[in-house]
Amino acid sequence: MVLLTWEECGCLLKQLQTAAYAVYNEVRQDSLSDRKLRLRSLLLRILACLREFRQTINITFLQGGSENTFQPELCRSEGEFDKHQLERIRKLLAATKIHTQSTIPTMKHIQQNCSKNYQDELAAVAQVNEVLARHNLPLVDNKNKKSLQVLVTKLRQKEQQLVFHQGLSKAQQHFSGSNSLYSVDNFAYGSTPFTTWLNVFTQQAVLDKLASGQVNLTVFGASIGSLVFFAGLVFGLRSVGVEILEFLHDVAEQFRLNLQISKEKCCFKCADMVTVSVHDVSILLLTSQCWDEALYAQVQTKLELELQSGTLVIDYKNALQKSPHFRLVREVHNQRVSWNSSQSFFIFERK
């Protein structure tokens, strides 16, 4: 057995994710059938290993108490891992380098990159008024700018805490049990940095909507509230976050109380998004990256029935492009998110 810390496990997951993306991109681009088959086989083995390692991490670190009980005092700072499992990971990473000519980041590089991303996010907050001025938008006052700085710091600290992930794991298990309508994949956690959010929300289609006046925002899959807070603090939008997991909703609500932000500006609802009306929404943000086809189909039907003409939908995937009721007005490429350094965003308009 090999002892690994929580942070080291996170780095190994990042390495496997990097390998999976590298092989996936090669599969998409390769036209040689034999090589494509080998790459597909490698991709399936990486994904299987990724799932298995996640399960091992959950068992090792996120155990303690019953399904509905959250016991942070039972969190462990390090755990034992099977050396054979770690050897399989090493071989898969080596195979990825050979077959894709890609570089898999070292643990040290991942840690340094995490620190750099955090500093970049704080720098974006510090320079937010320069960006807004270039678009002739109202500037963020000192109070809200300070709140943004505190928020970003607290958000990233929260995401690094083992106790947060234990609570999240309990909530995911509880809501994806045998009686649930939804699979656990629908509740995967990820975050979008302020830098990326600002890039997306200063696209011309969004700026035109903001200029139309009396604009509001709703986020489906609001998680711990960052996307809601960003819109409320930067643009002063009345923003609503809908999150089905009570654990994440409560974290968002605690942030709101700590930052002394009114419910009129940032409101959080603990609810299933398919039950929440969007008839009067101006901009709807869908954090849909992990939603399965069945859930997305429900959401799409709802949007086609309820959204008014001219409403903007900002999505992490382009599924609405298949709908005759929506028009793609902008695709924003190569944006950093927690699970991918080159995520695309899609801005649709309801016809």
pLDDT band at residue 65 under the 50/70/90 scheme = very low
pLDDT band at residue 40 under the 50/70/90 scheme = very high
Is position 131 within any domain?
A: no
The mean pLDDT of 17-35, rounded to a whole number, is 85
Looking at 171-185, 249-263, 299-313, which range is the least confident one? Answer: 171-185
Cα distance between residue 75 and residue 60, in whole Å: 9
Tokens 């990486």 identify what position?
A: 46
Q: Which domain holds residue 44?
A: 6-59+82-105
pLDDT at 67: 42
* Helix axis angle, 107-126 to 142-160, nearest 10°: 160
pLDDT at 21: 87
Is position 64 within any domain?
A: no
Is residue 199 located within the same domain as residue 325? Answer: yes
The pair of three-digit structure tokens given for residue 86, joined into one six-digit string:
């770690």
Own/partner contacts of 110-119, CB < 8 Å, gap of 24 or more, are 110/11, 110/14, 110/15, 111/7, 111/11, 117/193, 117/336, 118/152, 118/156
Percent of the chain at pLDDT exceeding 70: 94
Higher local confidence (pLDDT), 65 or 51: 51
pTM of the model: 0.88
pLDDT at 118: 95
pLDDT band at residue 62 under the 50/70/90 scheme = confident
Is residue 161 located within the same domain as residue 248? Answer: yes
Cα distance between residue 192 and residue 228, in whole Å: 11
Number of domains in the chain: 2
Length of the chain: 351
Is residue 90 located within the same domain as residue 149? Answer: no
The mean pLDDT of 65-78, rounded to a whole number, is 49
Residue-wise burial string across 294-329, b where 16 or more C-beta atoms lie within 10 A, e elsewhere: ebbeebbebbeebbeeebbbbbbbebbeeeeebeeb
pLDDT at 72: 44
DSSP-derived 3-state class of residue 67: coil
Is residue 284 located within the same domain as residue 152? Answer: yes
DSSP-derived 3-state class of residue 220: strand
Is residue 101 located within the same domain as residue 142? Answer: no
Is residue 248 located within the same domain as residue 207? Answer: yes
pLDDT band at residue 76 under the 50/70/90 scheme = low
Cα distance between residue 319 and residue 76, in whole Å: 40
Is a pLDDT exceeding 50 seen at residue 100? yes
pLDDT at 178: 63
Over residues 42-61, the pLDDT tens digits come to: 999 999 999 999 889 888 88
Q: What angle do CA 173, 169, 24 make, to 5 degrees?
A: 95
pLDDT at 73: 43
Is position 186 within any domain?
A: yes
Cα distance between residue 198 and residue 134, in whole Å: 13
Percent of the chain at pLDDT exceeding 90: 76
Is position 310 within any domain?
A: yes
Residues paired with 335 in a beta bridge: 343
Is residue 90 located within the same domain as residue 221? Answer: no
Residues paired with 336 in a beta bridge: none
The mean pLDDT of 217-226, rounded to a whole number, is 98
Is position 279 within any domain?
A: yes
H/E stretch holding 333 reads strand 326-337
Over residues 292-340, the pLDDT tens digits come to: 999 999 999 999 999 999 999 999 999 999 999 999 999 999 999 998 8
Cα distance between residue 150 and residue 122, in whole Å: 9
Mean pLDDT of the chain: 92
